[in-house]
Amino acid sequence: MNSIQKQKGLLIGLGIGLIVIAVLLASFGGYLTARGAVDLGSAAGIVKLVFGILMLVGFFPAIMGGIKFIWVGYSLVATMGSIKQGNIAKDGGTVNMKKCDKCGTELKDGQTECPECGKKFEA
Ligand SMILES: [Zn+2]
């Protein structure tokens, strides 16, 4: 298992954890809000209602964070795929470099002449 796979596992694990927390927040928040609303005459009822609403509000960042972590985790696999295909240039920058169609030498952006065989290209 390489480091990218570990990071992917960690991110997806965190994402699933956050979604579980979001679901728990929604369930308990909904329950407390309903119980608090029934019992609004007492201090305990108001406390339940406030905590219930806070938990319902917390549901949104938790579910968004969970989806984001899972998304980033899966994006890492796509990055790993393009490394495998050799699309990363030697300087670590440009993807899908152009090659001279005569000798196969890699060409930098804007080069109008192959440095190896001298073949000319349109800019
Ligand atoms: Zn060439």
Cα 108 to ligand 1 centroid, rounded to whole Å: 12
Query: What is the distance of C-alpha 109 from the center of its chain?
Result: 30
Cα 39 to ligand 1 centroid, rounded to whole Å: 82
DSSP-assigned letter for residue 96 = S
Cα 81 to ligand 1 centroid, rounded to whole Å: 28
Cα 97 to ligand 1 centroid, rounded to whole Å: 14
pLDDT one-digit tens code per residue, 11-27: 999 999 999 999 999 99
Residue ranges of the domains in the chain?
Answer: 3-85, 90-123
In the predicted structure, residue 90 carries a pLDDT above the cut 80: no
pLDDT one-digit tens code per residue, 49-68: 999 999 999 999 999 999 99
Distance CA 104, CA 98 (A): 9
Distance CA 92, CA 77 (A): 18
Q: If pLDDT is split at 50, 70 and 90, which confidence band does 40 have?
A: confident
Residue 43 tokens read as: 């201090």
Cα 99 to ligand 1 centroid, rounded to whole Å: 8
Mean pLDDT of the chain: 84
In the predicted structure, residue 93 carries a pLDDT above the cut 60: no
Higher per-residue confidence, 98 vs 123: 98
Q: If pLDDT is split at 50, 70 and 90, which confidence band does 33 have?
A: very high
Place of tokens 């991110």: 11
Cα 109 to ligand 1 centroid, rounded to whole Å: 15
Cα 112 to ligand 1 centroid, rounded to whole Å: 11
Cα 110 to ligand 1 centroid, rounded to whole Å: 15
- pTM of the prediction? 0.58
Higher per-residue confidence, 46 vs 90: 46
Cα 111 to ligand 1 centroid, rounded to whole Å: 11
In the predicted structure, residue 85 carries a pLDDT above the cut 80: no
